[in-house]
Amino acid sequence: MTEFLQLVISGLMLGCIYALIAMGFVIVFKATNVVNFAHASIVMLGAFLVAKWHQSLGFFGAAAAAAVACALAAAVLDFLFVRPLRIKARGEGLYCPLDQFDVSVAPDKPAQLTESRVDPADAQRWAFKDIFAGDRYAATVAVEKNFSRLVLWEFIEGNATA
């Protein structure tokens, strides 16, 4: 009976940890509208820093210093990675939202702008250059036609050729 009780308590504790992790995901998603799995890495960074600094700073000093370091790391990650994704997810920073134009990228045809619901003249505004991405893959780059120069590099076994 004691072993059963230990297993029940251990299972409840593990379930509570999973619930805290899930709540962290929900809070981050609700606050940013971006699925961000980096907060687990920030928590691991904090645990590592506490383990590394607890001899010299004591536990509470190490926990406080790790909290500050993790807050700075999270702010840097948000500024460099999450914020640009959030801007793109809302369609800000783009010429137009992604659901306002159609591009055809088929392996047997050159890429082309098939429809623009923003400006019908956009088909003449953009130029497309196919990129070889391997068998069964299609890739292209789009630039404005008044773009002065476009150079595509092909990397083959460590050598770059234009």
Using a cut of 0.85, tell me whether the model's pTM lies above it: no
Higher pLDDT, 57 or 36: 57
- Residue 76 pLDDT exceeds 70: yes
SS3 call for 86: helix
pLDDT one-digit tens code per residue, 7-51: 999 999 999 988 988 888 888 778 766 677 777 788 899 999 999
**Cβ-based neighbour number of residue 112 at 10 Å:** 16
Judged by phi (left if over 0) then psi (alpha if -120 to 50, else beta), residue 134 lies in left
